[in-house]
Every structure is written in C-alpha cells, then in structure tokens.
Structure 1
Amino acid sequence: MLPRWLKRHIPGYLPPEGRWKHLAERYDGDEIVVLDCETSCFDKKKGELLSVAAVRVKGSQILLSSALELTINSDAVTDPDSVRIHYLRREDRTQGVALAEAIEKVLDFVGNRPICGFYIEYDEAILNRYIKQLYNFHLPNRFIEVSELYARQKRRHIPEMALDLTFEGLANDLKVPVIERHTAMGDVISTALMLIKLTEFGKTRR
C-alpha cells in the first residue's frame, strides 16, 4: 500500500480541510483501526455501501466495547451473488442509518489512525467515493493490507514458498477463527486477530 506521504503527491489527491483537517496530521498513538465494508456488488466504482464495521486494535487487544457497526438505510439494487455472500437484503436495511451519517461516524471513529483490512484497497475506494461526494477529500490515512504483511513475513524466510492468500487461507495458517464470514463485523474481528498474530510474530522474530 502507498505510504501516506506519497499519496499527497499523486495527481488528483484531495486533502481534508475544515472539520476534517486533523485527519492529515501525523498519528503518534498505538492503535490501528481494522475496517470492513459490505457493498451491493463487487465493483469498487459502482458498489453501494450496505454496512461497515470497525474496531480499534491496541497491541494484542481488540477494543470490542467501542466497536463501530452500521447498516446503511439503502434501497440499492443488490447483486444476487452479493446477497448470497453477505445476506443483506433490502428489507434488512430499512432500520439502518443514513449514508451521510454513516460516513461521518466512520471518519470520527477512525480519526488519523492507520487503517487495516483484508483487500483494504476495495474498502478505501468505496469510502473515498462517498467522502469525495460529501466533503471533497480523500482519506489521507496509512493503509495496511493484512495479506501483504502475511506474504512479506512468510517470504522473508522461504522466498519461493507458494502461499494461499485468500481470507480462509490466511485464517487457517494463522490459526484464526473465521467468524460469521462476509458480515462486516465478523470479517473485522477475524482480520484483527490476523493482524495481532502477524505483529506478535514479527516481534518474536527480531
């Protein structure tokens, strides 16, 4: 993933301003936000946000008591393949929050912390599309792809190793439970456990 300093030099990059200016400030804390979005289809240019979940990870702790979990009140037409995966039908979303409120809550929750996920590039693209429409900026946060962490650690010791970089492949090798797969919160908790395993492994190998 691109480091945050490099993002600022990409043509078309829009920095946060006004209320959100602090998002671009250097983060000096020790928390990482693990985030996942579920959408109406698997196209990052067209998929509409249906649910989002996030937790903060501090060292080996998942701060579940302050976790964020939102369903969006959306009447988006959902790809049948997507419904079979995340089970979010239109009638399941009627009690959800408005999209603009959800984006605001996500920004407040994340702040300027690093953001981690599995295929986090997709979540970044989805959120940036809405954030640009609402506030005219792109997320300046550092993004961490958990599968890249995994591959880097594995190939550091056995460069030619063939790796299963699927979600289930990482979970199996790291001995992490797959919790309610393809629900935003379930994927977030499993990914947070992967992150903890990988960062703890990195410490023990130094």
Structure 2
Amino acid sequence: MRWLDRHVTLFSGSLRTLLQRESDRRRYVGSPYAWLFQPYMGEEQVALACYTSNGEYPAVSVAAVVLNQRHVQTSRAWVATIANTRSADAATLRRQHRVYGTTVALSPNAENLGALAEFIGNRPLIGWQIDRSLDRLNSLFKEGLGFGLPNAQVDVAKLHYRQLRRLHPYVDESNDLGEALERWQLPAINSHGVLSDAAASALLYIRLQRETVTAQYYS
C-alpha cells in the first residue's frame, strides 16, 4: 500500500511487539477474531483518541473515527467510556463523561471489547502519540479478549515532527495537538472531548499526507 511505503518508519511498536502480534495471529487463526490479524488492503484508517482516569479502577474514554484520504467520517464513530461500572467511582465516570464528551459507560467485557474491535477491524490506526493512547486500552483488550489490538499504527505526532523538521530544521518540538493544528493552518479543537481529538488528529494526518506527496513530487 502506498501509505505504508511512505510511513513505515513511523509505525509504532518494537520488535517484541511485532513478534507478539505474529504469535497472536497464529493463536487466533481458527477464532472469530482471525480476520483482525489479516493485512488490510483498503484505503481507510481509524483515528483513535483515549484518555484514562487515575485511581484503583481507571476509566478509559475512547473515540474511534473512520477516515480516508479525503474525508474524516465523523458520522462513523465509536465513542464510549470503558470502565468496571460496578467498581469504578461514580464521580470518576461523571467526570469522564463531562470532560471527554462520552455519554455511554461500558464494562470491559468480551462483548463490548469485541464490538470495538469489530468497529476498528483490521484497518490501520492513527493517532496523536498513539502509543500513550493505546497503553491502557490494550491492557483491557488483553484482559478481556486475550490479545492487544494487532492493527498497524501510525503516530501522527511523529509524522508532524518529521514534516516540520524538513521545513524548519531547528524548530522546537511540542507535545500539544492544538499547536500542531495551528502550524498547519487547520481549525482549532473546539472542545477537549475524545471525539474532537480523534477527528483533529485525523484532519492533521490527511493534511500531512498531502504535504508528503507534495514534497516527494518536488524532490
């Protein structure tokens, strides 16, 4: 795939992670989840944003949004807070809903995690600092389904820094998604909900993809 050829160096994951994915793929060959481990041949990706609360029973607010090379399809989104609803503090859940814009709280059982995995499918995942986003979510997947998300992953932050350094070699790096959007003259985030952040990282990814194509054309 063209996008894979361009961004192979930006993929998240160590050799240990890749070996684990291959081991999981073999282990789940005969299961209903086998297709998740197959290479994706289409033109869509899924932008992911996650925020985890503190505490003994952390809650994970998640948004997953489908995008292609031209559009962010916010009408195709999966948004919820995943938490042990029996044990999690009610105030924590209310805060997750209020701050991150979720309206649904789901237990981290196989059915709910399977629904999220099915929504994402085997499409590549993109996101701002995606390793950090996936840390707790993958733990839930391993506990509930036996495996972490096996999808290819592209860190939009790394892509942003690479393109920025090409234009401004001595620019200081920033961990702020809002500053990255401003750098590339994209609309600011109106709220700090997970859906807004997922959509923003998707827009930034599309913008940087075009920048990459332009740079390759003139190189």
TM-score by length of structure 2 reads 0.76
Moved more, 124-133 or 3-12: 3-12
Q: Distance in 2 between matches of 1:77 and 1:178?
A: 32
TM-aligned CA distance change 1:205 to 1:47, over 3 Å: farther
TM-aligned CA distance change 1:151 to 1:72, over 3 Å: same
Is the contact made by 1:85 and 1:182 (CA closer than 8 Å) also made in structure 2? no
Q: Distance in 1 between matches of 2:74 and 2:172?
A: 34
Query: 1:204 deviation in Å?
Result: 1.7
Gaps of 5+ in 2: 1-10
Moved more, 60-69 or 2-11: 2-11
TM-aligned CA distance change 1:78 to 1:37, over 3 Å: farther
TM-aligned CA distance change 1:23 to 1:6, over 3 Å: farther
Q: Which amino acid in 1 is paired with 2:33?
A: W
TM-aligned CA distance change 1:85 to 1:202, over 3 Å: farther
Q: Distance in 2 between matches of 1:34 and 1:148?
A: 15
Map of 1:99-110 to 2, 5 A cutoff?
99-100=108-109, 101-110=111-120
In structure 1, the partner of 2:33 is 20
In structure 2, the partner of 1:96 is 105
Q: How far does the alpha carbon of each residue in 1:174-194 deviate from its partner, in whole angstroms, 9 at most, with x for none?
A: 222233433111111111111
Gaps of 5+ in 1: none
Query: 1:76 deviation in Å?
Result: 2.2
Is the contact made by 1:86 and 1:182 (CA closer than 8 Å) also made in structure 2? no
The percentage of aligned residue pairs carrying the same residue is: 25
Q: Distance in 1 between matches of 2:168 and 2:100?
A: 41
Query: 1:3 deviation in Å?
Result: 5.7
Aligned residue-pair number: 199
Is the contact made by 2:45 and 2:124 (CA closer than 8 Å) also made in structure 1? yes
Is the contact made by 2:59 and 2:96 (CA closer than 8 Å) also made in structure 1? no
Q: Distance in 1 between matches of 2:199 and 2:173?
A: 22
1:68 aligns with 2:103: no
Map of 1:24-39 to 2, 5 A cutoff?
24-39=37-52
Is the contact made by 2:51 and 2:60 (CA closer than 8 Å) also made in structure 1? yes
